[in-house]
Amino acid sequence: MSSSDLKLVIFDWDGTVMDSVAKIVDAMQMAAKREGLPVPSDAQVKDIIGLSLLPALSQLFGELNQQQIDDMAQFYKEAYLELDQKPSPLFNGITDVFESLAKRHIKIAVATGKSRVGLNRLIEQTGLGHFFCDSMTADEAESKPHPQMIEDIVARQGVDKSQVFMVGDSTLDLTMANNANVKALGVSYGAHDKTRLLAVNPVAVVDDAKSLLDYLTTDIAL
């Protein structure tokens, strides 16, 4: 594949664009403690980042009743907003990636397990909205690793799947890409390390934004 054939790059948000993994872990642990549920480990929470709320809670805590689900949703939101008084930083160099792709007329989109309200708030805070042609959130599609987020974006943007990369820091992101039959590209600076990401057969795993940019803008032999 030549970089000139690349038409669309879809990015996960948490752990890929924004350095927010630690904040998510802390917020979920605070919510569990407040609800009187067993407090999950850091690794357990990292494994659910990207999932929609119900499957995330189910994976962490097993079967919950509706009141517990409602409480956890509210407690997590409150904890995250409390921790978010100081917004999470963008990963160093990620804006350069967006700027370079935009100059090459390569479309950029977001597929995230965040809510629409949450994503819109962060896009406004960061001022990145002008880069994105499309986005999908947990409110609007099946939870990762179901391929719906990618498939809906690809269909709306009118590109061929062979011209698409999905970039993410979690096995959920890369498995979603595999399920959607687009190329999966992992970043090792977020939720999951390189060994775990490589286990789901991405085309590559890179360690920082500069390497990501080099990979996406250099002729790629696949």
Instruction: Read off the pLDDT of residues 35-75 as tens digits, 9 standing for 90 and up.
Output: 999 999 999 998 888 788 888 999 999 999 999 999 999 99
Of 83, 103, 126, the residue that ends a domain is: 83
Chain centre to alpha carbon of residue 219: 25
Q: For residue 155, what are the domain limits?
A: 3-19+89-217
| pTM exceeding the 0.75 threshold for the entire prediction | yes
Q: Answer yes or no: is 117 within a domain.
A: yes
Task: State how far the Cα of 178 lies from the Cα of 174, in Å rounded to an integer.
Answer: 6
pLDDT at residue 185, rounded to an integer = 98
- Total of domains in the chain: 2
Opening angle at CA 39, ends 30 and 75, nearest 5 = 30
Q: Are residues 42 and 95 in the same domain?
A: no
pLDDT at residue 54, rounded to an integer = 85
SS3 at position 185: strand
Mean pLDDT by 10 residues, the chain (222 residues): 78 94 91 95 90 88 93 91 83 96 96 92 94 96 95 97 96 97 96 94 96 84 38
Q: Answer yes or no: is 51 within a domain.
A: yes
Q: Are residues 72 and 95 in the same domain?
A: no
Q: Are residues 139 and 34 in the same domain?
A: no
Of 31, 53, 83, the residue that ends a domain is: 83
pLDDT at residue 123, rounded to an integer = 94
Closest by CA position to 16, among listed 134, 186, 164: 186
Q: Answer yes or no: is 222 within a domain.
A: no
Q: Are residues 174 and 67 in the same domain?
A: no
pLDDT at residue 211, rounded to an integer = 95
Q: Answer yes or no: is 109 within a domain.
A: yes
CATH number at residue 125: 3.40.50.1000
Q: Are residues 171 and 110 in the same domain?
A: yes
SS3 at position 172: helix
pLDDT at residue 221, rounded to an integer = 39
Two structure tokens written together for 51: 């999932």
